[in-house]
Structure formats: C-alpha cells, structure tokens
C-alpha cells in the first residue's frame, strides 16, 4: 500500500494482541506514513514480520497473566531472532514496543533491535513519540565510548527491584557517598556501575578495588600511590584515588578493611586530601565514593569491628539489594537473559526446567544462576533446556515445594 502524500511505501507496524484490545489506541498514535497490521496469533505475527516494510512491533501482553506474558515474549523473541538474517539482508532495524513487561532482555542483546518496555499502556502522545522514532534511522551502536558505557541494564520487574532501580536513578544524580549492601552474588558492582554510568560522572573513570584482596601493609600504596624511593624498588605510581580523579571509586567488601587502615580512608573523606607514599606534598582528592559489603557495617560497628565515624561517612545513602530467593518473579527473566547470552535467543527453557529454577533457593544468588544456565547451555540437546540440564553445585535440600508458598509469595509484582 502506498502513501500518496509522500509517494513512499508505508511503514508497517505489527500490533500483536489476541483480541486486538487496544487497536484503536495504536491507530490514533500512528500518524501518516504508517500501516497497522493486527496479528491475533503467532502465525500471523511471524508472516507479517517477514515483510520488508515491517519496522515496528507493538506487543500488547496486558491481558495475560504474568507467566503467560513471559512465555509469549520469550516465544516472540525466538521468532525475531530466527528472522535476524532477513533483517540484516534488508538493512532493517526493528523497534519493539512492549506493553505489560518492565524488560525484554532476550532481545536487548540483538544490535538490530531496539526495545522499549512499558508495564502499563502508555498514553497516546507517548506512544506517538515512540513511533516517530521508527521513521528515523537508528544511531549506530557504540557511536562513542561514553554512549556505550552508559548501557548498564539492571534486570528485574519485581516490586523490590523496581524500588532498587528507582533508588539507583535518584542517587545517580547525587554526589554523596553510597553504601550498597547485599549477599554475595546479588550484583553490588553492577549497581555501583549503574550509579556511575547513569550520573554526571559517566565520562570519567570508574575504579574498582576489592578491600578483601589488599594486604594490610599495601593498603596505602594501593590507595594513595607511591613515589620513587619510598621503599626498596618503589617507582612513581598512581593510586586508586588518583586514578579515579573526577570519577567514581568503588570499594568492594569495605567491611574487610582493617581497623588500622580505616582512619587513613576516613581522613581522605573528611579533608579531601592525601599524600603519595614517599612524597610530603598534599594532593586534593576529587571522586565519589561507592562502597559495598556482604556484611552489614552497621552490625560490625555495634561490635566495635568497624569505626562508627567511618560508617557515618560512607553510608550517607544506602541501597540494599535483595537476594534472589526474595525476588523469585525475576528468576526466569534472568535465566532467559543468560540463556540468550550463552547461546542465542532461539533457545528456550522447558516449563519443567523453569519450575526447577523457580523453586530453588539460590544461596549464590545471580552469580550462581548465571553459572547454572551457562552449564545448562553446554549440556542441552537441541534448542531447549530440560530439567536434567539444570545442575546445582550447592548441597541438597535447597528446594522449596510449591505447596509451601503463600498466595502473597506467588504474586508477580
């Protein structure tokens, strides 16, 4: 069908919904130059996707239950992935707009696809602005280091993770020190990078240091740097504070910092000054501090194992990351994302395997889940991951029986 006003083929938008429930809203948002093709089943969707003028997909999953939304989105992602060669051959970039999900990570790894997710139906103006982007040629990925460095994805649509993401977005605009608390494997460094990359310092250095790996006697040289002659075989070397100039210094496992070295860090935070080892000249420190710990420094301070004055300095803002067992509605979302990373988006997880993942307690949290999915992708036969492909390293007895869940536990946020 031609658009007589501009003399060009109309750009096709596929609207996927079993009942075409919000087709009227899509038609109102679509301006001249678009043709909306409703698809009420996956077969119609797959056929319309192959058309050379299809540039946008609107996946309306609002009428489905949460698990059905995830399965439908996963299946659609496989169809899109299987058509990747056709997208490349026709030079198309596909825009995917999703109603009913906070994220669609299985498609975010495809450079030929741009994904925008809405947990509820966007208003007509917002949707119209989104569709206007379809007419513009996409910006090449990695156009600059600063642009690509900002692409930090925090995957999660549970209520607790939505609250965490909201805090990250708020704190990223601030400059006060942040303390991130959470069990091992919950993603504390990823959260720290999000605070850096989503804020005004995104183009400046992000320097990460694990306090648990620094010998007590080497803390000063690692943190402040050294001058030639400070000790035997010493050379001029910048420390972590100097490397993080105008950027972010991330101190992981700060609770492991010895009581003898804690005052040295405290002085830098209070005065904004430090000295390299072997050099009496004062230097000025310009950085934002983000700290993280598996152990709560507040509890350690009560037991006199962590200085309270340092605690007050590093914990101006606090973010607590929930363990995976307390955000179960994110388990399958993360599993599908890792599956797409380790194989491709055309792989999928069988329902029985998904149940096995869902009812496990995940003592190693996201790090353990990533390892399990990586191993499953190696052992799988064909494209599907089966229950026998899911192998846990933890001790037996880490499973929860479905009947032990309350209705509240089983709700999807």
Summarised one tens digit per residue, pLDDT across range 113-123 is 777 888 888 77
pLDDT of residue 181: 97
| Integer Cα distance of 35 and 56 in angstroms | 10
Of 83-97, 121-135, 200-214, minimum mean pLDDT range: 83-97
Residue boundaries of the structural domains of the chain: 2-145, 159-320, 324-410
pTM of the model: 0.65
Going across the sheet that includes 248-252, the strands are 206-210, 248-252, 288-293, 178-181, 317-320
| Integer Cα distance of 357 and 47 in angstroms | 33
The confidence band for 405, taking pLDDT boundaries of 50, 70 and 90, is very low
| Integer Cα distance of 110 and 345 in angstroms | 9
Helices (H), 30-82: 42-49, 66-82
Please say whether the dihedral angle defined by the alpha carbons of residues 331, 337, 342 and 346, taken in this order, is positive or negative.
Answer: positive
The CA–CA distances, whole Å, from 276 to 31, 207, 214, 224 equal 62, 18, 17, 5
Summarised one tens digit per residue, pLDDT across range 169-195 is 999 999 999 999 999 999 999 999 999
Q: What is the dotted CATH code of the domain comprising 159-320?
A: 3.40.50.300
The CA–CA distances, whole Å, from 36 to 4, 32, 130, 216, 291 equal 17, 11, 15, 65, 50
Summarised one tens digit per residue, pLDDT across range 284-312 is 999 999 999 999 999 999 999 999 999 99
In this model, does residue 149 exceed pLDDT 60?
A: no
Domain 2-145 superfamily per CATH: Response regulator (3.40.50.2300)
- What are 39's two structure tokens? 């698809």
Residue 278 β-bridge partners: none
Residue with tokens 């439908």: 72
| Integer Cα distance of 44 and 37 in angstroms | 9
In this model, does residue 214 exceed pLDDT 70?
A: yes
Q: What is the dotted CATH code of the domain comprising 324-410?
A: 1.10.8.60
Fold match, 2-145 / 159-320? yes
The CA–CA distances, whole Å, from 274 to 179, 241, 245, 262, 266 equal 22, 9, 13, 14, 11
């Amino acid at each position: 069908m031609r658009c007589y006003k501009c003399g060009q083929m109309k750009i096709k938008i596929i609207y996927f919904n079993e009942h075409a429930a919000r087709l009227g809203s899509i038609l109102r948002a679509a301006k001249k130059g678009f043709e909306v093709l409703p698809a009420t089943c996956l077969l119609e969707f797959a056929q319309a996707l192959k058309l050379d003028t299809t540039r946008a997909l609107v996946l309306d999953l609002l009428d489905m239950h949460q698990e059905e939304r995830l399965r439908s989105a996963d299946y659609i992602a496989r169809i899109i992935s299987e058509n990747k060669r056709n997208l490349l051959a026709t030079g198309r970039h596909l825009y995917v707009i999703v109603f009913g999900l906070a994220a669609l990570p299985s498609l975010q790894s495809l450079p030929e696809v741009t994904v925008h997710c809405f947990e509820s139906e966007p208003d007509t103006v917002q949707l119209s602005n989104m569709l206007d982007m379809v007419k513009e040629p996409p910006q090449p990925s990695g156009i600059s280091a600063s642009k690509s460095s900002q692409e930090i994805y925090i995957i999660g649509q549970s209520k607790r993770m939505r609250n965490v993401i909201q805090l990250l977005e708020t704190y990223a605009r601030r400059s006060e020190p942040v303390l991130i608390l959470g069990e091992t494997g919950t993603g504390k460094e990823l959260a720290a990078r999000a605070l850096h990359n989503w804020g005004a310092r995104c183009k400046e250095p992000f320097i990460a240091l694990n306090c648990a790996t620094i010998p007590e006697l080497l803390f000063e040289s690692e943190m402040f740097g050294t001058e030639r002659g400070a000790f035997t075989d010493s050379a001029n070397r910048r420390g972590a504070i100097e490397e993080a100039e105008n950027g972010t210094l991330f101190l992981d496992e700060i609770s492991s910092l010895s009581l003898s070295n804690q005052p040295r860090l405290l002085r830098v935070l209070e005065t904004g000054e430090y000295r390299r080892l072997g050099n009496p000249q004062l230097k000025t420190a310009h950085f934002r501090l983000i700290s993280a710990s598996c152990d709560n420094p507040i509890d350690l301070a009560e037991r006199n194992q962590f200085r309270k004055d340092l605690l007050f300095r590093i914990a101006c803002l606090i973010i607590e990351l929930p363990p995976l067992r307390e955000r179960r509605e994110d388990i399958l979302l993360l599993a599908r994302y890792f599956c797409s990373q380790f194989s491709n988006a055309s792989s999928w997880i069988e329902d029985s395997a998904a149940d096995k993942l869902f009812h496990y307690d995940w003592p190693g949290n996201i790090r353990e889940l990533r390892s399990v999915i990586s191993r499953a992708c190696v052992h799988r036969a064909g494209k599907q991951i089966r229950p026998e492909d899911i192998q846990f390293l933890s001790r037996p007895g880490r499973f929860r029986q479905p009947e032990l869940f309350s209705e509240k536990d089983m709700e999807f946020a």
